[in-house]
Amino acid sequence: MAYRYVLFHKPYGVLTQFSDRQAQRKTLKDFINLPDVYPAGRLDRDSEGLLLLTNHGLVQHRLINPRYEHPRTYWVQVEQTPDESALNQLRQGVVIQQHPTRPAQAKSLTPPDVSPREPPIRFRKTVPTAWLEITLREGRNRQIRRMTAAVGYPTLRLIRVAIAHLRLAKLAPGEWRDLTTTELIHLKRLLEM
């Protein structure tokens, strides 16, 4: 069997699965017509950005297994402007759902050049927003959103821009492409394959 490795820019509002019991929401099937590839990891419906899909079960397993601690990087738009104290809390780890998170890399980010989101985030004249870049080596349900809320800066928009060395780069929302040979070699090395 030939393995397939696909990078996809998941748009806002799309489920990270190929079917929907309610049959009303967009799924991966609306964008990717490839047999037997499945996402290695998830993004919430209200999150955007990079997904890796593959039919290689070992790659899927190792990408979601916390033992391998591969980094995932997000651009996060939050309410207000976090101070250094809040960034340090994220860097040290915060308690969410009664359990501490692992330390994260967190820094302020100049507003990035990103595609407009449909629908756009809510705009409030009296409440500024700021962008952060956060890199995690674990992946709990809605972790970034819970972390930024725990330090007092709710997430408004969340875009995963990297999984290890794989980058969203110039993929527009809804676009996908196959991994390059070089990307695949680095991925297998990272996953100890």
Distance from C-alpha of 43 to C-alpha of 65, rounded to nearest angstrom: 16
User: What gap in Å lies between CA 107 and CA 171, rounded to an integer?
Assistant: 24
Q: Cis (ω within 30 of 0) for the bond into 119?
A: yes
Output the CA–CA distances (angstroms, integers) from residue 113 to 110, 118, 159, 170, in the order listed: 9, 16, 12, 11
Candidate list 20, 36, 44, 178, residue with the active-site label = 44
* Contact in structure between 151 and 86 (CB atoms under 8 Å): yes
Reply yes or no on whether 44 is catalytic: yes
Q: Which residues are catalytic?
A: 44
